Structure 1
Amino acid sequence: MRKLFDIKFILLITLLCCGFVACSDDSNSDIEEPVKPEPETGDVTLYITTNTRSQDFATKAVDFSDKSNMSPSTINLEPETRYQTMDGFGAAITGSTCYNLLQMTEDNREKFLKETFSPTEGMGYSYVRISIGCSDFSLSEYTCCDTEGIENFGLTSEETDYVIPILQEIQAINPDLKILGSPWTCPRWMKVNNLTDLQPFNSWTSGQLNPAYYADYATYFVKWIQVLKEYGIEIYSVTPQNEPLNRGNSASLYMGWEEQLEFVKNNLVPAFKAASLNTKIYLFDHNYNYDNMGGQNDYPVKIYDAGVDEDIVVGAAYHNYGGNKEELLDIHEKAPERELIFTETSIGTWNDGRNLQNRLIEDMREVALGTVNNWCKGVIVWNLMLDSDRGPNREGGCQTCYGAVDIDRANYSSITRNSHYYIIGHLSSVVKPGAVRIGTSGFSDAGFYYSAFENTDGTYAVVLLNSNSASKMITLDDGTNHFSYEVPAKSVISYQWKK
């Protein structure tokens, strides 16, 4: 009993001592004041992602400064210098993506889609790409007319059961969504082995479009656009062929620039006009280096120079599986009146695709800001969602790709967000459709990359990458207001504020 009393007495004395120390007013104390939380609201809204996920698309705020701006690290906005008008940013809604989304509970799917596509409650993704027929991330190989004769055109169950329901759900969240369609192959009965022998080529992979079916294939595009409209889905743009120089994909079709010129100029454009379609056509849709085929260099420019309707054939689309993004600037300089969009890039096992510490920096520099700063008005990455086994995928297609996000097959609930999800989100969250990229001057240290925009609602937006290993205080000045914020090391930060 005495022992228990002693223990209680010691505990009491200890607590009293601790309380005294805690309440003492010692001016020499080394105890730091608690860190004040970031403001919930302010003049400027910021979204921050670090490559370690210490800040995971964190929402912050800062107020304008009322002091004179003397900062040497100031980015000055110059809205009088204007570049391209932005159409939007997003990812591909493939058959595989739709399958995975439909395995989720309705509540979880709605939550994820709102987080991704809502312009008011989420990142505001605004542009998606879908395949016309199958892609290498479809649940099967098909086109919309696998029985010979264009009169046999019709949608398949993959579209009606998977793709269309998901598109409708996304449109309910973001009614202003833009949709780009691209075919991986024409129907097999339209294929020949080459344009000399013209022998039937009954294969999903490779082959060329038989000139005898150019008109039917143009009708195929028109019918596809029209039938999707019946489901409430407007097609904003198309490309005549995904990766026209790639014969090796599981579903593919070779189409050199001279073939694409003939098909587009004398068949697809007249078919769109006859059907009163205002869907845009973007040429090419392939790599910066034209797959090292010398005769295909400047593929879209060759078509422009040969003469093609510029009201419908508005520009060209590019991927980054070969070559350098500087090709975009070269094409813009050769055809400044035409548009550029970026339509596909992948992450996977070959480039350590789930390692955000590496990929966030490179993908933001090369894909997001790299394409926008070279005149692209839209940026779209590959699959929005794959599962934890990189699928569903098919033999002959990419079996080593990751999605912008990956969902766990064990529960179809746990989601891993990869670099592509963040880089698109950092653009779409602050740069809205109709925004104009504007000029900047001032701060330009190595390792920092950025782009500035003026939105149609009277706000400015800046997206900035700090690829360095140290944080830095950066000031933004629009000529009327300025503010400063410490940009973390190896991070992406998006800003938006009213003028």
Structure 2
Amino acid sequence: MKKNNMYITTLLLSMTMSALTACGVDSGFDIQPAPEVKTTFPNPIPADGEARTFTSTANGYTMLKQGSAALLEGQSMAPTTIQVDPSKTYQEMDGFGFAITYSSCYNLLKMDPAARAAFLKQTYSPTEGYGVSYARISIGCNDFSSTEYSLCDQKGLENFKFYKDETDYVIPILKEILAINPDLKIIAAPWTCPKWMKVKDLASKTPFDSWTDGHLNPDYRKTYADYFVKFVNEMKAQGIAIYAVSPQNEPLNKANCASLYMPWDEQAAFVKELAAAFKKGKLNTKIYLFDHNYNYDNNKDQNDYPVKVYNALGKKFEGSELVVGAAYHDYGGTNDELTDIHNQASDKELIFSESSIGTWNDGRNLAKRLVADMKNITLGTVNQWCKAVLVWNLMLDEKMGPNLDGGCQTCFGAVDIFNNYQTLKYNSHYYVICHMSSVVRPGAKRIGMALRSYQSTNLLYAAFLNPDGTKALVVLNTGDTDLNATVSDGKNYFPVSVPAQGVISTTWK
């Protein structure tokens, strides 16, 4: 296959483990049956009178396979019918996506330009791809950066500037993606503030010259808020709009290659300054609190962290309308915490902003990961009020990098690239995000559903009404038997086959 072909999807089954090792792939790589090598781009737009489908199975034989079914008029009387109900509406969706880190961009820029363009088009195009519509980036370094740095390492905001990670990698890739999908939403979060803003503790305010741990000096809260304003404006000058920020990635994590400890009371004080700075700067960038685990890292004093911040801030403060909600990760606890927080603050938004696969959860093994990730990361979050779902690195290499000491040394990408940057291996995170984004458009409303069945079905699902009037349904079959079902919206219906240990996404006019 020529190097400038659109892209190569997975290893051929004829490759042996010794060949994989020669290519630099570690022995933990799980060989998956190869999907068809695609020669055309996905087409997610249904024709009139048609339902468009995408189907994947955990055994890897069918991955995002396109299909269609004709709509039939009337009510379905089939024994297993999934009835969608557009009269019942829930949250509005912002989108689904991946983290665009330095490491992801480094690997993408190593690809043949034509292959990279095709991969990004396949992933992000809303008309000729899977329509991925959200991205997460860092403000300064993260554990998949080239080194530890902030955007103002020399004291004084007059010294604010982008590092080469931004100028040479992240910004160029974001521009390529935006050329494909101009409506891409971007959320940004810092792993640390500049070190000159850190103190060991708030009482003594002893300077703390470390990338890891430390507190934000209360005397620099306004300065740090202005640092965020500078970041948003400098990205805007590059033609990149920052849709949202969180004040701190994993504020209860004192480890990592770069971090800042920010318990809820300290975040409340900083967010008050941040919202005011955005308001004064005439920025409409949203602010999502917390950005950490469901279980608050087992710190009881931090339980219900975002609710504590909402209560501390009150309803009326400068820029209060910009503090819209909270973000969550899944490295501890369970996603029913989302419903608990929604019930306590139903006027606030929720998003799911990070999950990883790696050696610890057999992350390259679709047979173990596809159903679990579809259940817990996508369906399990949107059915508990999340407006957006994002996973960690879009692309890493076969050595799980590049990465930094102190960060994750065992993470896989949603896509892994190897064989001299020519061969792509798609992992579960790519599929679960694309299964949602291929049929659920930004601005869609989650809608009601009902299942009529005379048997145990092992089905999990979510339904949506898109802004253009099309409807969408994503169905997961956790059982070991294929299931034939009928989808009905009250006016039309059509049959679907939901494979065992598989997922089907469908959209129809």
* TM-score, reference length from structure 2: 0.88
Residue 449 of structure 2 is aligned to residue 422 of structure 1: no
Write the letter of the residue equivalent to 1:112.
F
What is the rounded CA distance, in whole Å, between the counterparts of 1:440 and 1:148 in structure 2? 55
Q: Give secondary structure in 1 for the equivalent of 2:221.
A: helix
What is the rounded CA distance, in whole Å, between the counterparts of 1:338 and 1:330 in structure 2? 12
- 139, 144, 149: which is aligned to 1:142? 149
Write the letter of the residue equivalent to 2:333.
G
- 379, 383, 388: which is aligned to 1:378? 388
What is the rounded CA distance, in whole Å, between the counterparts of 1:78 and 1:65 in structure 2? 17
Aligned-pair distance for 1:140?
A: 1.1
Residues 116-135 of structure 1, C-alpha deviations (whole Å, 9 max, x = no match) = 10001111100000000000
Counterpart position of 1:496: 507
Residues 291-334 of structure 1, C-alpha deviations (whole Å, 9 max, x = no match) = 01111011010111121554100000000000010000000000
What is the rounded CA distance, in whole Å, between the counterparts of 1:443 and 1:239 in structure 2? 41
Counterpart position of 1:49: 56
Residues 376-402 of structure 1, C-alpha deviations (whole Å, 9 max, x = no match) = 000000000000110001111000000
Residue 131 of structure 2 is aligned to residue 104 of structure 1: no
Counterpart position of 1:83: 90
Aligned-pair distance for 1:68?
A: 5.7
Residue 167 of structure 2 is aligned to residue 160 of structure 1: yes
- 117, 122, 146: which is aligned to 1:115? 122
Write the letter of the residue equivalent to 2:228.
F
Residue 355 of structure 2 is aligned to residue 345 of structure 1: yes
Aligned-pair distance for 1:46?
A: 0.1
Residues 259-278 of structure 1, C-alpha deviations (whole Å, 9 max, x = no match) = 0000111x101100110000
Residue 476 of structure 2 is aligned to residue 476 of structure 1: no
- 411, 432, 437: which is aligned to 2:420? 411
Residue 232 of structure 2 is aligned to residue 225 of structure 1: yes
What is the rounded CA distance, in whole Å, between the counterparts of 1:493 and 1:50 in structure 2? 9
Aligned-pair distance for 1:442?
A: 2.1
Aligned-pair distance for 1:488?
A: 1.1
What is the rounded CA distance, in whole Å, between the counterparts of 2:452 and 2:184 in structure 1? 35
Write the letter of the residue equivalent to 2:344.
K
What is the rounded CA distance, in whole Å, between the counterparts of 1:453 and 1:69 in structure 2? 19
Q: Give secondary structure in 2 for the equivalent of 1:45.
A: strand
What is the rounded CA distance, in whole Å, between the counterparts of 1:438 and 1:358 in structure 2? 30
Residue 400 of structure 2 is aligned to residue 393 of structure 1: no
Write the letter of the residue equivalent to 1:105.
D
Counterpart position of 1:436: 445
Q: Give secondary structure in 1 for the equivalent of 2:474.
A: strand
- 327, 343, 346: which is aligned to 1:317? 327
Q: Give secondary structure in 2 for the equivalent of 1:252.
A: coil
- 342, 345, 349: which is aligned to 1:335? 345
What is the rounded CA distance, in whole Å, between the counterparts of 2:299 and 2:452 in structure 1? 40
What is the rounded CA distance, in whole Å, between the counterparts of 2:500 and 2:435 in structure 1? 16
What is the rounded CA distance, in whole Å, between the counterparts of 2:499 and 2:229 in structure 1? 49
Which deviates the most, 444-453 or 123-132? 444-453
Aligned-pair distance for 1:198?
A: 1.3
Write the letter of the residue equivalent to 2:414.
A
Counterpart position of 2:33: none
User: For 1:123-142, what aligned pairs fall within 5 Å after superposition?
Assistant: 123-142=130-149
User: How many correspondences in the alignment?
Assistant: 457
Aligned-pair distance for 1:66?
A: 5.0
What is the rounded CA distance, in whole Å, between the counterparts of 1:205 and 1:443 in structure 2? 53
Which deviates the most, 46-55 or 370-379? 46-55
Q: Give secondary structure in 2 for the equivalent of 1:305.
A: helix
Q: Give secondary structure in 2 for the equivalent of 1:311.
A: helix
Residue 286 of structure 2 is aligned to residue 276 of structure 1: no
Counterpart position of 2:203: 196
Aligned-pair distance for 1:157?
A: 1.2
Residues 22-62 of structure 1, C-alpha deviations (whole Å, 9 max, x = no match) = xxxxxxxxxxxxxxxxxx97610000011112111100001
Q: Give secondary structure in 1 for the equivalent of 2:332.
A: coil
Residues 83-111 of structure 1, C-alpha deviations (whole Å, 9 max, x = no match) = 00000000000010010000011101001
Counterpart position of 2:475: 464
- Unpaired runs of 5+ residues, structure 1, are 1-39
What is the rounded CA distance, in whole Å, between the counterparts of 2:91 and 2:265 in structure 1? 28
Aligned-pair distance for 1:158?
A: 1.1
Write the letter of the residue equivalent to 2:507.
Q
Counterpart position of 1:21: none
Counterpart position of 1:177: 184
Write the letter of the residue equivalent to 2:368.
N
Residues 376-433 of structure 1, C-alpha deviations (whole Å, 9 max, x = no match) = 000000000000110001111000000000000x320100000000000000000000
Which deviates the most, 87-96 or 435-444? 435-444
What is the rounded CA distance, in whole Å, between the counterparts of 2:347 and 2:80 in structure 1? 35
Aligned-pair distance for 1:447?
A: 2.2
Query: Relative CO higher for 1 or 2, CA cutoff 8 Å, sep ≥ 6?
Result: 2
What is the rounded CA distance, in whole Å, between the counterparts of 2:245 and 2:332 in structure 1? 22
What is the rounded CA distance, in whole Å, between the counterparts of 2:203 and 2:139 in structure 1? 27
Q: Give secondary structure in 2 for the equivalent of 1:270.
A: helix
Write the letter of the residue equivalent to 1:216.
T
Which deviates the most, 440-449 or 462-471? 440-449
Counterpart position of 2:303: 297
| Percent identity of equivalent pairs | 58
What is the rounded CA distance, in whole Å, between the counterparts of 2:343 and 2:495 in structure 1? 35
Aligned-pair distance for 1:64?
A: 1.7
Counterpart position of 2:366: 356
Counterpart position of 1:485: 496
Aligned-pair distance for 1:67?
A: 7.3
Counterpart position of 2:34: none
Write the letter of the residue equivalent to 1:181.
A
Question: What's the RMSD between the two structures over aligned residues?
Answer: 1.2
What is the rounded CA distance, in whole Å, between the counterparts of 1:106 and 1:68 in structure 2? 50
User: For 1:235-314, what aligned pairs fall within 5 Å after superposition?
Assistant: 235-265=242-272, 267-306=273-312, 307=314, 309=317, 310-314=320-324
Counterpart position of 2:38: none
